[in-house]
Amino acid sequence: MARDDSLVEYCQRDRTVHPPAFAPAYKTSVLRSPRNSLISLQNSLSEITGPVFSQDELGPLDHDLILNYAKGGMPIGERIVVHGYVLDEFRRPVPDALVEVWQANAGGRYRHKKDTYIAPIDPNFGGCGRVLTDRDGHYVYRTIRPGPYPWRNSVNDWRPAHIHYSISGAGWVQRLITQMYFEGDPLITQCPIVRTIPGEAAVRQLIAVLDRNAAVPLDSLAYRFDIVLRGARATWFENRVQGQPSMQRE
């Protein structure tokens, strides 16, 4: 069945899988969380559309964090490939999704004006990359496994090793920022930011799985991380987004 994207709207967001705005164990959320209820909107054109990105906006090394900031050497740390699929809630691939990632280096230090952690900057590591998903919704990039690091929340809180993700799908309502964690890391379940998420299944979905089948032998291990965005559904009956015939589907 071919889908006619112009007649699509998106399933309501299931807020039970997401952290609430106010999560006091993550202290910074206290003063930065709205207290009123969100106003629920049915999709209009402003919500079902969104920016379109193309391959020619990205450079050839944008998805290679091992080489994209190399200054005559290679970054220190465990070489890994990270890959997966961007799907929607109906398991349909989301092609041309812009996946942007950023992370600390192997020592847990970010290349950022405001990061003053004692671990050193790696002269050959920038710590960011970006890639568009292919027609199957697949993405892949190469990097160095990031290190854990301490942060000021309680005095001895540590972030598990993680890679930040920003995903832009087909519609504005699919916009998502999240973090990927690594299988086997004991810091995951202790982390106040992870613990803002109410359910175990939703946390498990953020943990990348070691994927030996995708490893590059004698070179890099691989991790698999799939991302699910809001589902695009056809509008069969009334209440369509625009004044278009609603049964115009194949």
Partner 1 sequence: MTLMINQLDYLKETASQTAGPYVHIGLAPKQAGFDIFEKNFSNVLAGPKTQGDRITIEGRVVDGSGTPLRDVLIELWQANAAGKYNHPADRQDKAIDATFRGWGRACSDFETGVWSFETIKPGAVEGRGGRAMAPHVSLWIVARGINIGLHTRMYFSDEAAANAADPVLNLIEWEVRRATLIGQREDRAGKVVYRFDVHLQGLQETVFFDI
Q: Which residues are catalytic?
A: 110, 149, 159, 162, 164
189, HSE (Cβ side, Cα atoms, 13 Å): 7
* Residue nearer to partner 1 on the CB measure, 56 or 219: 56
Pairing of strands 232-234, 128-132: unpaired
Query: Closest distance between partner 1 and the C-beta of residue 184, in Å?
Result: 19
Binding part of the chain for partner 1, among 72-80, 134-142, 214-222, 238-246 by CB under 8 A, reads 238-246
Answer for the pair 157, 151: CB distance below 8 angstroms, yes or no: yes
Answer for the pair 215, 206: CB distance below 8 angstroms, yes or no: no
Contact between 67 and partner 1 (CB under 8 A)? no
Contact between 110 and partner 1 (CB under 8 A)? yes
| Options 3, 24, 46, 120; binder of partner 1; rule CB under 8 A | 46
Q: Which of 191, 184, 207, 206 is nearest to 150 (CA)?
A: 191
Contact between 243 and partner 1 (CB under 8 A)? yes
The whole-angstrom separation of Cα 127 and Cα 100 is: 11
| Options 64, 119, 178, 214; binder of partner 1; rule CB under 8 A | 178
| Options 108, 147, 148, 171; binder of partner 1; rule CB under 8 A | 171
Answer for the pair 145, 207: CB distance below 8 angstroms, yes or no: no
| Options 66, 144, 222, 227; binder of partner 1; rule CB under 8 A | 227
Give the 3-state secondary structure of residue 156: coil
* Residue nearer to partner 1 on the CB measure, 81 or 141: 141
Binding part of the chain for partner 1, among 44-52, 73-81, 134-142, 212-220 by CB under 8 A, reads 44-52
62 Rama class: left (phi>0) / alpha (psi -120 to 50) / beta? alpha
Could you say which residues in the range 190-209 bind partner 1, by CB under 8 A? 193-194, 196-197, 201-203, 205-206
Binding part of the chain for partner 1, among 50-58, 75-83, 137-145, 215-223 by CB under 8 A, reads 50-58
Q: Binding string to partner 1 for residues 10 to 39, with x set by CB under 8 A, is what?
A: --xxxx-xxxxx-x--x-xxxxxxxxx-xx
Could you say which residues in the range 111-140 bind partner 1, by CB under 8 A? 111-115, 126-128, 130
Could you say which residues in the range 143-162 bind partner 1, by CB under 8 A? none
- Cross-strand bridge partners of residue 88: 229
| Options 172, 210, 215, 249; binder of partner 1; rule CB under 8 A | 172
The whole-angstrom separation of Cα 124 and Cα 249 is: 51
Q: Which two tokens stand for residue 89?
A: 């809630």
Residue owning tokens 């705005």: 21
Q: Which two tokens stand for residue 227?
A: 């991302």
